[in-house]
């Protein structure tokens, strides 16, 4: 693990391990998966790992502001002097723009953080959305089903995933194609 990812791991642990142990199990597994995907992203492997460690830091009770974890985490990261690209990956991870729209925060998200569409963002989405809440490996379909059961059919989270699923599945498929083309 390189320097940026080591720092991200320490920061994530500090804010999530004790306060949100289940979320911490998920984050650790997402980061481990992202580190295995690093060969897909070349020189950005450390960035991918750091984004995976920090993708859910906005859930930490001492970081929550708007209640939208992607935006809260990204804003906090900028305030802690993390680089904009890393914060933007956190801000937009796993179809966050759809949730932002549901929460009335879409314009703020887009104005503050550029959305990156890249091998790195696809790999981050893949690592997150193929990892269950306790760190277990799941297919993206099973992960979405788990989310819908956990939140219920009328929750904002279930509503945004209904809209976001096609975009998520495209990112998952792109990553799977890259994984097949480059054995790891």
> Angle at CA 70, nearest 5°, toward 69 and 75?
95
pLDDT of the residue at 40: 96
pTM reported for the whole predicted model: 0.96
Q: Where are the alpha helices (DSSP H) in the chain?
A: 3-16, 21-37, 45-54, 69-79, 84-91, 96-102, 106-112, 119-129, 140-151, 156-181
User: Is pLDDT at 1 greater than 90 in this prediction?
Assistant: no
Give tens-digit pLDDT for 15-42. 999 999 999 999 999 999 999 999 999 9
Share of the chain above pLDDT 70, in %: 99
């Amino acid at each position: 693990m390189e320097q940026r990812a080591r720092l991200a791991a320490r920061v994530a642990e500090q804010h999530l391990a004790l306060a949100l142990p289940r979320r911490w199990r998920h984050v650790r597994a997402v980061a481990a998966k992202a580190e295995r995907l690093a060969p897909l992203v070349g020189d950005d492997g450390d960035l991918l790992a750091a984004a995976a460690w920090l993708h859910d830091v906005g859930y930490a009770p001492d970081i929550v502001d708007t209640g939208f974890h992607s935006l809260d985490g990204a804003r906090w990261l900028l305030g802690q002097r993390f680089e904009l690209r890393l914060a933007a990956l956190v801000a937009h991870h796993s179809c966050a723009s759809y949730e932002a729209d549901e929460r009335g925060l879409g314009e703020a998200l887009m104005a503050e953080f550029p959305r990156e569409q890249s091998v790195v963002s696809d790999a981050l989405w893949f690592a997150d959305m193929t990892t269950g809440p306790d760190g277990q490996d799941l297919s993206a379909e099973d992960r979405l089903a788990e989310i819908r059961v956990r939140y219920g059919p009328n929750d904002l989270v279930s509503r945004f995933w209904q809209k976001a699923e096609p975009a998520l599945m495209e990112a998952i498929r792109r990553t799977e194609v890259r994984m097949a083309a480059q054995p790891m």
